[in-house]
C-alpha cells in the first residue's frame, strides 16, 4: 500500500459524514409529530423550569448530562430527570446541594454556571459561558424555591424548610437575621418565638389549611433525659406567602426548650394537596402521603 | 522524612511552574499503544490505561516522545520511596470558540482544564497496592479514582491478572484523552465519570479481558437495587489490534452498550477506530419505546518526525436511529508538538456540526493547549 493511497482512503472516510439537515425536527431534535406540550410563546428564557429545560438543559447540558451514562450521574435530558437529579440532591462538593431551593448562592448548579472557584470547571464545559439573562433566570428560579410544573409525574414535596425569623430585640433588623441567629441565639429565648418558611415544589391548595393541622413538639432536657410536649395549636399561626410557600410561627415557647419538631401532612388529621389534588410525599419515599418532619435545635 | 518532603515539594513546584508557565498532552493516548503494539498497561500503573505512568511509560514520555530529551533520573523523582510513586498531569488551555447562536456566540480566554496528582502505594512482593487519582484544579479537589488493587502472581493459576475495588473508571472501548469526543461523551465512559465497583482483568499473552461490576450511577451512591455489568476484550495481532466492549446498566430503564474498536500502524501512520451501539430502554418520552444510538470515531495520526504528531479525527453521532436528519458530526485537526521531555503543546481546530435548530451546538473552536506530564 502506498502512502498517498492510504491518505486518500482515510480522507475519503473522514469526509463521508455530514450533520443532519434537521428537516422535520423541532428545536430539541425530535420529530415534530412527537410534540406533546404547548410550545412556549415567549422568545427569551423565563425563570421557570420548563423554560430553563428548553433553553439550557436540553440543548446544552444534556449533550454530556444525558444519554447512556450521564456525566456525574446527572441526567438533565428531560424535565422529570432534571427534577430528580437536581433539587436537593447532593453535589460532588459535600458542602452543597446541586439545587438548594431558595438559595442560588448555595446551589452547586449556580456556582458551576457562574465559574465559582468552589465548583471546579465552569459549565458548560468547553463552550461559551451562559449569557447573563440565562444565568439570571436560573438564579431567580432557584431563589424563588425551585418550583416545578404541576403536570409532571414527579411527587409533590416540601422542598425546604428555613428558619427565617426569631423574635428579636427591636434594634435588630430582619435583614441581619442570619448573623443575628448565629451570634445571639440566647435572644431567641427572651422573646420565645420562631418563624419557619416551608417551600413546596408545586403550587399548593392552602385554602383548607388550619393551624391545628400543624403539629409542634417542644423538647427539653439533655441527652440523658429528653421529654417533649405538644405545643398548643393556639400558639401556632400560619401565613400563606404564595402558592408555593407558607410561613409558620410558633409563639409563647418556654425559655428552656432545646429542640422543636414540626410535623406536616399528618394523614390522621389532614393531608396537604396541590392545586391539582396531588397529595404531597411528606416522607420522601416516592409515594404520596407520609409525614414531613422538621426539627430545629436551639 | 526531610528528604521525602523535599522530593514532594520539588515535584509539585516543577509541575506547577512548567504547567502554568507554558501553559494540555498525553494522559491516555491509545495511538501510542497502537504504534508500539503494546497494551495500555505497558505504560500505565492502572492496567486499563490513563493516569500514573510506570517506569516504562515515564521513560517513554521523557526520551521517545519529545523532540529534545532531558537526561534526568525520572524514576528517582517519581519513586518517593520504594513503596510510594507520584505522578501528575496538568493541562492549560487558550481557546477561541464561535457558535451559530444568535447571542453570546463567541468566547475566548484561558482556562486550567485540569490538573491531577496520582499516588500509588504498593507493598512490595505482595501484589497489593492502593491508587489515587485526585483532580486538584480547577476549583476544589475532586477524587476521580481511589481503589485497592491486587495483582495475582504471574506463576499462579490466575496468570497475570488483577482485581480492583473502589472508585474507578470503567474499562470501555478506546480511552482517548479527549473527553469531548462523541465516543467518550455519549457513552459517558470518560475521565469525568468514575463509578464505584470492582474490576477483574486477566492477560492471556496477547489477549486482555476485563470484567466489572459497578453501581451504574457514576459518582453517586447506588440509588436502585440494580447494578452495572460489563466486559472489555482486546487482542493484539502482529500488525493490528481488535477489541470489543459490552455493558449493561440495569435498573428501571436499562442501558445497553456495545462497541468494537481497532487500531493499526503502517509506517508513520497510525489509525484507530471505534463504533458504538447504545440502546436506551423506554427513553422515548412520547412513544415510551427504546431509543437506539450510534457513535463512531476514526482517528489518523501521522508521526512526521520525533516530537511531532498530526492528528485528524472524524466523529459521527446519531442520537436516535429511528429519526432521520438528526445526526451530528465533529472533525478535528490537531498538531502535537513535544519540544522536550514532559511538556506537550497542542494546536487544534475542531468543527462541531449539529442540526440547524441547535445553533449553540454548531461551533468551531481553535485551541492551544499545554500539557505537563510526569
Cell numbers given for B208: 486482555
- In this prediction, residue B10 carries a pLDDT of 47
- In this prediction, residue A120 carries a pLDDT of 73
Residue at which a domain ends, from A115, A143, A171: A143
Same domain flag for A180 and A279: yes
Residue A164: pLDDT band with limits 50, 70, 90 = low
Of B169-178, B185-194, B337-346, the least confident: B185-194
pLDDT > 90? residue A190: no
In this structure, are residues B324 and A21 in contact, taking their beta carbons and an 8 Å threshold?
Answer: no
Give the H or E element holding residue A51.
helix A49-52
Cα–Cα distance measured from residue A174 to residue A116, given in angstroms and rounded to the nearest whole number: 28
Same domain flag for A175 and A101: no
pLDDT > 80? residue B355: yes
Residues 6+ apart with CB under 8 A from A174: A165
- In this prediction, residue A78 carries a pLDDT of 86
B200 vs A14, more confident: B200
Same domain flag for A137 and A163: no
Same domain flag for A69 and A131: yes
CB spacing of B192 vs A1 below 8 angstroms: no
Question: Which residues in chain A have their CB less than 8 angstroms from residue B218's CB?
Answer: 69-74
Same domain flag for A128 and A165: no
Residue A6: pLDDT band with limits 50, 70, 90 = low
| Interfacial A residues in 222-281 facing B (CB < 8 Å) | none
Question: Which residues in chain A have their CB less than 8 angstroms from residue B331's CB?
Answer: 14
In this structure, are residues B352 and B98 in contact, taking their beta carbons and an 8 Å threshold?
Answer: no
Domain annotation covers residue A24: no
Same domain flag for A168 and A291: yes
- In this prediction, residue B318 carries a pLDDT of 92
Cell numbers given for A53: 429545560
Closest CB from A17, A18, A68 relative to B280: A68
User: Average pLDDT, stretch A44-59?
Assistant: 90
Among A214, A208, A213, A183, CA closest to A196: A214
User: Average pLDDT, stretch A248-252?
Assistant: 83
User: Average pLDDT, stretch B43-69?
Assistant: 91
The residue of chain A nearest to residue B99, with distances taken between CA atoms, is: A128
In this structure, are residues A53 and A152 in contact, taking their beta carbons and an 8 Å threshold?
Answer: no
A63 in contact with B, Cβ within 8 Å: yes
- Tell me how crowded residue A193 is: count the other CB atoms within 10 A of its CB: 17
Dihedrals φ, ψ of A259, to 5°? Answer: -160, 150
CB spacing of B188 vs A128 below 8 angstroms: no
In this structure, are residues A163 and A120 in contact, taking their beta carbons and an 8 Å threshold?
Answer: no
Dihedral sign, Cα of residue B45, residue B48, residue B49, residue B50:
negative
Question: Which residues in chain B have their CB less than 8 angstroms from residue A90's CB?
Answer: 220
| Interfacial A residues in 99-118 facing B (CB < 8 Å) | 116-118
Closest CB from B97, B138, B320 relative to A128: B97
Residue B110: pLDDT band with limits 50, 70, 90 = confident
The residue of chain A nearest to residue B217, with distances taken between CA atoms, is: A73
Domain annotation covers residue A16: no
Cα–Cα distance measured from residue B338 to residue B66, given in angstroms and rounded to the nearest whole number: 5
Same domain flag for A176 and A289: yes
Q: What is the ipTM of this complex?
A: 0.73
Question: Which residues in chain B have their CB less than 8 angstroms from residue A64's CB?
Answer: 185, 192
In chain B, count H helices and then E strands.
Answer: 5, 16
Closest CB from B104, B193, B331 relative to A69: B193
Question: Which residues in chain A have their CB less than 8 angstroms from residue B103's CB?
Answer: 131
Residue B174: pLDDT band with limits 50, 70, 90 = very high
- In this prediction, residue A26 carries a pLDDT of 79
Q: In chain A, how many domains are there?
A: 2
Closest CB from A10, A68, A126 relative to B257: A68
Among B161, B83, B168, B162, CA closest to B132: B168
Closest CB from B105, B327, B360 relative to A60: B360
Cell numbers given for A186: 440566647
Cα–Cα distance measured from residue A199 to residue A101, given in angstroms and rounded to the nearest whole number: 8
For residue A70, give its domain range. Answer: 44-143
A&B contacts, CB < 8 Å: 175
- Local structure of B301: helix, strand or coil: strand
pLDDT > 70? residue A173: no
CB spacing of A128 vs B105 below 8 angstroms: yes
C-alpha atoms less than 13 angstroms from C-alpha of B17 in its C-beta half-sphere: 6
Beta bridge partners of B278: B257, B293
- In this prediction, residue A179 carries a pLDDT of 46
Highest mean pLDDT among A143-147, B195-199, B359-363: B195-199
Question: Which residues in chain B have their CB less than 8 angstroms from residue A17's CB?
Answer: 314, 316, 327, 329
A32 in contact with B, Cβ within 8 Å: no
Q: What is the pLDDT of residues B270-296, one digit of tens each?
A: 999 999 999 988 888 778 889 999 999
- In this prediction, residue A35 carries a pLDDT of 58
Same domain flag for A108 and A184: no
A131 in contact with B, Cβ within 8 Å: yes
In this structure, are residues A30 and B314 in contact, taking their beta carbons and an 8 Å threshold?
Answer: no
pLDDT, mean over chain B: 85
Residue B200: pLDDT band with limits 50, 70, 90 = very high
B347 vs B20, more confident: B347
Compute the nearest-CA separation of B221 from chain A (Å).
Answer: 10
Distances (CA, A) of B62 to A90, B16, B57, B88: 41, 18, 9, 14
Cell numbers given for A121: 470547571
CB spacing of A31 vs B323 below 8 angstroms: yes
A151 in contact with B, Cβ within 8 Å: no
Q: What is the pLDDT of residues A131-152, one digit of tens each?
A: 888 999 999 999 888 888 887 7
Q: Return the DSSP state at A72.
A: G
Domain annotation covers residue A18: no
User: Average pLDDT, stretch A75-103?
Assistant: 86
Dihedrals φ, ψ of A221, to 5°? Answer: 95, 175
Cα–Cα distance measured from residue B270 to residue B351, given in angstroms and rounded to the nearest whole number: 22
Give me the CATH topology for the region B2-373. Answer: Porin (2.40.160)
Among B147, B218, B221, B220, CA closest to B187: B218
CA angle A228, A229, A233 (to 5 degrees): 145
Among B93, B104, B98, B113, CA closest to A135: B104
Q: What is the pLDDT of residues A286-295, one digit of tens each?
A: 888 889 988 8
Cell numbers given for B336: 502535537
Question: Which residues in chain B have their CB less than 8 angstroms from residue A19's CB?
Answer: 327-329, 353-355, 362
Among B328, B52, B30, B230, CA closest to A69: B230
A17 in contact with B, Cβ within 8 Å: yes
CB spacing of B218 vs A22 below 8 angstroms: no
Q: Which residue has 415544589 as its cell numbers?
A: A201
Cα–Cα distance measured from residue B27 to residue A9, given in angstroms and rounded to the nearest whole number: 29
Same domain flag for A115 and A69: yes
Cα–Cα distance measured from residue A178 to residue A162, given in angstroms and rounded to the nearest whole number: 11
CB spacing of A13 vs B365 below 8 angstroms: no
- In this prediction, residue A177 carries a pLDDT of 47
- In this prediction, residue B338 carries a pLDDT of 95
Cis amide bond preceding A214, omega within 30? no
Residue B122: pLDDT band with limits 50, 70, 90 = very high
Among B189, B153, B155, CA closest to B171: B189
A59 in contact with B, Cβ within 8 Å: yes
The residue of chain A nearest to residue B223, with distances taken between CA atoms, is: A73
Q: Return the DSSP state at B353.
A: E
Residue B24: pLDDT band with limits 50, 70, 90 = very low
- In this prediction, residue A181 carries a pLDDT of 43
Compute the nearest-CA separation of A241 from chain B (Å).
Answer: 34
The residue of chain A nearest to residue B278, with distances taken between CA atoms, is: A68
Highest mean pLDDT among A9-13, A46-50, B107-111: A46-50
Task: Report percent pLDDT > 90 for chain B.
Answer: 52
B331 vs A227, more confident: B331
Of A121-135, A140-154, A170-184, B190-204, the least confident: A170-184
User: Average pLDDT, stretch B62-84?
Assistant: 89
In this structure, are residues B306 and B36 in contact, taking their beta carbons and an 8 Å threshold?
Answer: no
Residues in chain A: 298
Same domain flag for A76 and A165: no
pLDDT > 90? residue A38: no
A5 in contact with B, Cβ within 8 Å: no
Amino acid at each position: 500500500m502506498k502512502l498517498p493511497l492510504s491518505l486518500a482512503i482515510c480522507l475519503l472516510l473522514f469526509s463521508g459524514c455530514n450533520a443532519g439537515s434537521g428537516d422535520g425536527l423541532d428545536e430539541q431534535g425530535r420529530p415534530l409529530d412527537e410534540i406533546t406540550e404547548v410550545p412556549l410563546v415567549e422568545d427569551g428564557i423565563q425563570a421557570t423550569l420548563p423554560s430553563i429545560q428548553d433553553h439550557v438543559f436540553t440543548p446544552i447540558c444534556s449533550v454530556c448530562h444525558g444519554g447512556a451514562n450521564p456525566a456525574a450521574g446527572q441526567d438533565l435530558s428531560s424535565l422529570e430527570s432534571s427534577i430528580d437529579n437536581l433539587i436537593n440532591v447532593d453535589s460532588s462538593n459535600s458542602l452543597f446541594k446541586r439545587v438548594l431551593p431558595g438559595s442560588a448562592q448555595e446551589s452547586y448548579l449556580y456556582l458551576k454556571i457562574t465559574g465559582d472557584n468552589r465548583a471546579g470547571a465552569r459549565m458548560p464545559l468547553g463552550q461559551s459561558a451562559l449569557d447573563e439573562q440565562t444565568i439570571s433566570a436560573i438564579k431567580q428560579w432557584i431563589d424563588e424555591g425551585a418550583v416545578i410544573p404541576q403536570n409532571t409525574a414527579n411527587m409533590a414535596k416540601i422542598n425546604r424548610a428555613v428558619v427565617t425569623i426569631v423574635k428579636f430585640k427591636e434594634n435588630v433588623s430582619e435583614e441581619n437575621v442570619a448573623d443575628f441567629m448565629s451570634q445571639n441565639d440566647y435572644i431567641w429565648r427572651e422573646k420565645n418565638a420562631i418563624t419557619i418558611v416551608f417551600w413546596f415544589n408545586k403550587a399548593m391548595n392552602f385554602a383548607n389549611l388550619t393551624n391545628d393541622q400543624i403539629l409542634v413538639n417542644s423538647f427539653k432536657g439533655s441527652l440523658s433525659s429528653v421529654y417533649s410536649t405538644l405545643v398548643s395549636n393556639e400558639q401556632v399561626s400560619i401565613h400563606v406567602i404564595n402558592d408555593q410557600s407558607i410561613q409558620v410561627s410558633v409563639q409563647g415557647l418556654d425559655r428552656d426548650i432545646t429542640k422543636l419538631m414540626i410535623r406536616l401532612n399528618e394523614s390522621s388529621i389532614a393531608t396537604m394537596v396541590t392545586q391539582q389534588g396531588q397529595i404531597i410525599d411528606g416522607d420522601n419515599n416516592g409515594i404520596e402521603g407520609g409525614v414531613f418532619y422538621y426539627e430545629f435545635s436551639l | 522524612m526531610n528528604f521525602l518532603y523535599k522530593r514532594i515539594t520539588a515535584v509539585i513546584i516543577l509541575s506547577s511552574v512548567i504547567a502554568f508557565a507554558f501553559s494540555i498532552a498525553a494522559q491516555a493516548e491509545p495511538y501510542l499503544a497502537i504504534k508500539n503494539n503494546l497494551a495500555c498497561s505497558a505504560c500505565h500503573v492502572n492496567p486499563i490505561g490513563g493516569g500514573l505512568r510506570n517506569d516504562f511509560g515515564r521513560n517513554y514520555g521523557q526520551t521517545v516522545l519529545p523532540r529534545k530529551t532531558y537526561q534526568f533520573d525520572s524514576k528517582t523523582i517519581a519513586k518517593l520511596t520504594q513503596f510510594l510513586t507520584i505522578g501528575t498531569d496538568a493541562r492549560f488551555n487558550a481557546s477561541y470558540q464561535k457558535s451559530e447562536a444568535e447571542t453570546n456566540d463567541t468566547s475566548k480566554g484561558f482556562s486550567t482544564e485540569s490538573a491531577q496528582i496520582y499516588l500509588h502505594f504498593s507493598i512490595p512482593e505482595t501484589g497489593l497496592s492502593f491508587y489515587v487519582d485526585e483532580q486538584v484544579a480547577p476549583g476544589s479537589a475532586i477524587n476521580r479514582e481511589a481503589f485497592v488493587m491486587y495483582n495475582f502472581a504471574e506463576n499462579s493459576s490466575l496468570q497475570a491478572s488483577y482485581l480492583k475495588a473502589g472508585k474507578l473508571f470503567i474499562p470501555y472501548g478506546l480511552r482517548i484523552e479527549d473527553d469531548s469526543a462523541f465516543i467518550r461523551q455519549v457513552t459517558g465512559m470518560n475521565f469525568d465519570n468514575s463509578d464505584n465497583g470492582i474490576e477483574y482483568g486477566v492477560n492471556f499473552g496477547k489477549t486482555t479481558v476485563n470484567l466489572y461490576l459497578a453501581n451504574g450511577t457514576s459518582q453517586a451512591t447506588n440509588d436502585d437495587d440494580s447494578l452495572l455489568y460489563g466486559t472489555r476484550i482486546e487482542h493484539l495481532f502482529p500488525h493490528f489490534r481488535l477489541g470489543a466492549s459490552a455493558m449493561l446498566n440495569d435498573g428501571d430503564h436499562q442501558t445497553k452498550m456495545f462497541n468494537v474498536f481497532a487500531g493499526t500502524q503502517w509506517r508513520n501512520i497510525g489509525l484507530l477506530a471505534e463504533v458504538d451501539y447504545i440502546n436506551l430502554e423506554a427513553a422515548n418520552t412520547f412513544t415510551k419505546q427504546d431509543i437506539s444510538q450510534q457513535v463512531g470515531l476514526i482517528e489518523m495520526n501521522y508521526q512526521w518526525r520525533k516530537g511531532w504528531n498530526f492528528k485528524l479525527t472524524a466523529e459521527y453521532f446519531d442520537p436516535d436511529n429511528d429519526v432521520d436528519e438528526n445526526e451530528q458530526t465533529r472533525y478535528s485537526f490537531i498538531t502535537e508538538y513535544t519540544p522536550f521531555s514532559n511538556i506537550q503543546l497542542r494546536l487544534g481546530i475542531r468543527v462541531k456540526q449539529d442540526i440547524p435548530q441547535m445553533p449553540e451546538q454548531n461551533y468551531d473552536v481553535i485551541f492551544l493547549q499545554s500539557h505537563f506530564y510526569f
